[in-house]
Amino acid sequence: MKREGLLDLNEAVQHPGKKLAFDVKTELQQEEDIDLLKPVTGEVRAVSTGNLLLLEADLSTRAVFECARCGAAVEIDVEFSMEDQFAVEGVPSSYSHEGYAYVVADEPEPMFQDNALIVDRYVRQGLILNLPSQPLCSGSWDGPCQNEVSTSEQEAPSGHPAFQSLGGLKSEDEE
Ligand SMILES: [Zn+2]
């Protein structure tokens, strides 16, 4: 039975060494703090060592952030990779007919339900850790903010560039 939002990794858990790969796609509908412009998509890979379930993910999305300098909305592509490991207990069924290995879910907010990864919870954790720390509408600290460029053009549509920059200094002094 495939449940919504769960990635069944039981086959990897019961067969150490067997590598699984899945395409994932989620809109993180429970996420209210991040304004996604498109779903988070990518690949999640899983393999068990017997004692540990190793997960890797390569994911990307596009979201709206606030410029760290001027506060304007800025759209930024976010690409990130994740590597995590989860403790596994029990004997894998591939080792013993009566065996059953399971991922230990001891976090306050478990990432697993039985041996299925709760995709949104896992993806969200990776996304939060990989958000741009200082998003800038201009793309870098070197150039001015987008709205500063357009504002100065509106105030001084003509004239020598040197006078435009003098005007900018003057208005800063007045403040
Ligand atoms: Zn800005």
Q: 88 in helix, strand or coil?
A: strand
Nearest to 14 by CA among 55, 46, 45: 46
- The string of pLDDT tens digits covering residues 124-151 is 999 999 999 999 999 888 989 987 776 5
Distance 156 CA to ligand 1 centre (A): 20
- The string of pLDDT tens digits covering residues 90-120 is 999 999 999 999 999 888 889 999 999 999 9
Distance 149 CA to ligand 1 centre (A): 10
Distance 37 CA to ligand 1 centre (A): 19
What percentage of the chain carries pLDDT values higher than 90? Answer: 70
Helix and strand tally (H, E) in the chain?
4, 8
174 has a pLDDT exceeding 70: no
25 has a pLDDT exceeding 90: yes
Helix axes 146-155, 161-174, angle to 10 degrees: 100
Residues in the chain: 175
155 has a pLDDT exceeding 90: no
Question: What is the rounded average pLDDT of the residues 55-74?
Answer: 96
Distance 147 CA to ligand 1 centre (A): 7
Distance 132 CA to ligand 1 centre (A): 14
Please state, rounded to an integer, the average pLDDT across all residues of the chain: 86
Distance 134 CA to ligand 1 centre (A): 10
- The DSSP code sequence of 100-145 is --EE---SSS-SEETTEEEHHHHHHHHHHHTS-SS--TTSSSSSPP
